[in-house]
Each structure stands twice: as structure tokens, then as C-alpha cells.
């Protein structure tokens, strides 16, 4: 295993222990961040990204629900 993969794994593990909710998902999204940011910050940024993605998805679905051109059955 390369050094990068090892550091990602380590960051992932630490993030899973320290980050609050959705931790492993956040760690996965934050995993590509450079190692010097530290696992906790990477997880925080990952969590922020998860929240942003989920918010965008929610808005998209809300718009889809209120769309005037709904499919008729």
C-alpha cells in the first residue's frame, strides 16, 4: 500500500472516531484532501460537503415536486 493510501486510511479511521454524524461518509468525501489538513478538518470539510450536496438534492426535489409539468398517469 502506498503512503498516500495509508494516510487516507488513517485519516478515515481517525475521522470516523472523532467526527460527529455521518462520520464515515464525511471522511470518504474529505479523504482526497491533503494529509496536512489533518483528519478532523478533512472530516469537517467532508461533512460540510455532504450537507451541501444533501441541501442541493432537497432543493432539486422540492422544485421537482412543485413543478407545473408533472407527469400524468
d(CA 38, CA 51): 20
Q: What is the pLDDT of residue 15?
A: 55
Instruction: Report the distance separating Cα 54 and Cα 29, nearest Å.
Output: 13
Q: Where are the domains of the chain?
A: 3-65
pLDDT by position in tens, the chain (length 73): 676 676 676 666 665 555 455 555 555 665 555 555 566 777 777 778 888 888 888 877 777 666 555 555 4
- Residue 36: count of CB within 10 angstroms of its CB: 8
Q: Which three cell numbers stand for residue 20?
A: 460527529
* pTM exceeds 0.85, yes or no: no
Q: What integer pLDDT is reported at residue 9 of this predicted model?
A: 66
> How much is the pLDDT for 48?
83
- Cell reading at 55: 441541501
Nearest by Cα to 37 from 9, 19, 11, 10: 11
Amino acid at each position: 500500500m502506498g503512503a498516500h493510501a495509508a494516510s487516507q486510511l488513517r485519516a478515515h479511521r481517525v475521522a470516523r472516531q472523532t467526527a460527529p454524524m455521518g462520520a464515515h461518509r464525511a471522511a470518504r468525501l474529505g479523504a482526497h484532501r491533503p494529509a496536512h489538513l489533518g483528519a478532523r478538518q478533512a472530516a469537517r470539510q467532508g461533512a460540510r460537503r455532504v450537507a451541501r450536496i444533501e441541501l442541493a438534492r432537497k432543493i432539486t426535489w422540492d422544485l421537482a415536486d412543485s413543478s407545473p409539468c408533472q407527469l400524468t398517469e
